[in-house]
Structure 1
């Protein structure tokens, strides 16, 4: 079989003797490349790294334009030093801004102008509005740093109020399980989300090579946190009951790797077919996992060892749906009974 040689791909043998590959350009290692060269998961990651490079302007832009500022930002360390997933997120927010408002003057843009642009987005998509606000703040920080401006017009813009994801209740968990029994792909996907406590994107990329000694190795895409998550008995049962094909722990019907969007779509349909309310989404299973750990006396540090959160404040935010009645009974039980 002919060997495929791709630009920017480097190989090395790790301490276990396993061949690994990574994407390297301009002297920087941008990230690992999973799977075999030419496989779907490998080519998806490879294409993502290529796509993360700053786009070349299709037509000349004015030196003072917002489009030129964004292009220069893409070439700065404020962008290139970020993880590939973060760079993609930045581009997701900035490319539409450049297309629609790139002709505007970057140095003359007022706080009012910037707020109108962001408010138009946030009026219907508050989450996207907040992302745009955060990334635009970095772009204009770059403008100040490069002495194109003396101020950052985005600093005073308030964030949009965004509702938190619903934490699944035990009754909702039981309802899903009653619909999707062990042996179904829907139950397997649910079990991975609930019993690993990981985000959908991290669950989607789990493969058999990640499993060792009763643990699943996870490197979180969002935080870069490296975790070893114990395989819960319920997850083990779900894995044993479903004869998955291929290397992915959750693949498509033919065993091929799933992308994050495909796993989300699988769960969204399964949740709907289980008759659960629209508030029940995949991310709520991560919160349910943390809630159940908190209700069973896991400490914040112990929960963080599974969730990968960097601060205990984040853990507290995710576990605030812990069963108040149970917590209250435990607390009241600690009050001395003087008549006993």
Structure 2
């Protein structure tokens, strides 16, 4: 049997089942009332309760006992008596609450990372983040808490921050995001007295070249629409004609008959999006109309969820079954799906197709930005190839316009 902590006693009942309790000063005049513990000594809860018992204080009063939990810092938190049944549950809930409160109080007093993160999450700077951005922030805030949670924010040095960033260098995108969130948190804390400076600012920037998504080629569209399962088709059209992200496309509500636009709230930015319906897209919506509030449906008539659509997409493109084995497909389909894989044509690339089409039609970057819910800076990033083509076309047109004069200068006035 495992050695039990001091004052913890285990005893079997007639059936042999073990019961455990904390019995301080047992057998003496100072003996405390028995504190029942979890029945199994194998779980984490048992050992956590044993540790908490070490911080208990009990004092005999005129009509019973007064209980408290005393933290390492000396703070005392009153507790209800540890009775059986619901009383026992209330006792341990009070112990947990006291421990959490002391951790918060201690964190605030010492201005720790745990306290800063908790405070940051109550402020507009965090609340105004879009849901997907907040999710990514939370992931890195957890990492920051794991690294330095109980440490004072002011104790962090640039060297320690750089070491934490370097530990994530195997995923450059993650390391860069971690550094950005840490810097944001430290700037927030510095302005509120948690530290005197943002040491993350002087850490080394993570070099990470984002590979741009490729717009789909005519061959890619042909391969997809001829061979991919029909239930995947309409979201591709919707992405192409609206330029929205998959998280917004797949879950689109069906526009009312006669509606002039697709309207939604972008989940990444929280912005309202208004996309006028293109005439060809309207025809597609009319042909595929079904009386269902969701726009994108599976072949069985149920609405797609984003997770289900992504799973179905992956299985289709890789020609895999639900169990991960090779699917039985025709040679033509296998070739078509290989074309999509080899060309790195992914759903997000359709967003670039949409941006390119809008720019090629002569729209300004501001107009494109308003339609696809993308910053003008990102539109410029997406449109580098389009701008090159546009510049080339404009340059050649100007050459055509002044060709007679240019030709004469090149070959002389007498050239045929």
Superposed displacement of residue 84, structure 1: 4.1
**1:319 alignment partner, one of 383, 392, 395:** 383
Q: Which moved more, 1:190-199 or 1:97-106?
A: 97-106
| In 2: Cα distance, 1:176 partner to 1:329 partner | 31
| 1:34-73 aligned within 5 A | 60=103, 62-63=106-107, 64=110, 65-73=112-120
The CA deviation string for residues 138-186 of structure 1, in whole angstroms up to 9 with x for no partner, is 21112211212111111123133132332224233333233238xx111
Q: Secondary structure at the match of 1:264?
A: helix
Superposed displacement of residue 191, structure 1: 0.9
Please say if 1:302 is aligned against 2:367.
yes
Superposed displacement of residue 327, structure 1: 4.9
Q: Secondary structure at the match of 1:334?
A: helix
Distance 1:131 1:257, change over 3 A: farther
Superposed displacement of residue 302, structure 1: 2.8
Aligned partners of 1:244 and 1:250 also within 8 Å: no
Consecutive unaligned residues in structure 1, runs of 5 or more: 1-55
Structure 1 partner of 2:226: 178
Structure 2 partner of 1:109: 156
Structure 2 partner of 1:333: 397
Distance 1:74 1:323, change over 3 A: closer
Distance 1:224 1:160, change over 3 A: same
**1:199 alignment partner, one of 215, 235, 245:** 245
Superposed displacement of residue 197, structure 1: 0.3
**2:172 alignment partner, one of 126, 146, 149:** 126
Distance 1:316 1:129, change over 3 A: same
The CA deviation string for residues 4-23 of structure 1, in whole angstroms up to 9 with x for no partner, is xxxxxxxxxxxxxxxxxxxx
| In 2: Cα distance, 1:236 partner to 1:73 partner | 45
Instruction: Give the TM-score, by structure 1 length.
Output: 0.71
Consecutive unaligned residues in structure 2, runs of 5 or more: 1-98, 320-336, 406-416
Aligned partners of 1:245 and 1:251 also within 8 Å: no
Please say if 1:150 is aligned against 2:215.
no
| In 1: Cα distance, 2:394 partner to 2:314 partner | 36
| In 2: Cα distance, 1:98 partner to 1:212 partner | 52
Structure 2 partner of 1:260: 306
Aligned partners of 2:116 and 2:194 also within 8 Å: no
| In 2: Cα distance, 1:75 partner to 1:305 partner | 31
Instruction: Give the TM-score, by structure 2 length.
Output: 0.59
| In 1: Cα distance, 2:392 partner to 2:125 partner | 47
**Higher RCO structure (Cα 8 Å, ≥6 apart):** 1
Distance 1:217 1:150, change over 3 A: same
Superposed displacement of residue 111, structure 1: 1.0
Aligned partners of 2:144 and 2:182 also within 8 Å: no
Q: Give the aligned length.
A: 281
Superposed displacement of residue 317, structure 1: 0.9
Q: Which moved more, 1:158-167 or 1:97-106?
A: 97-106
Answer with 1 or 2: which has the greater Rg.
2
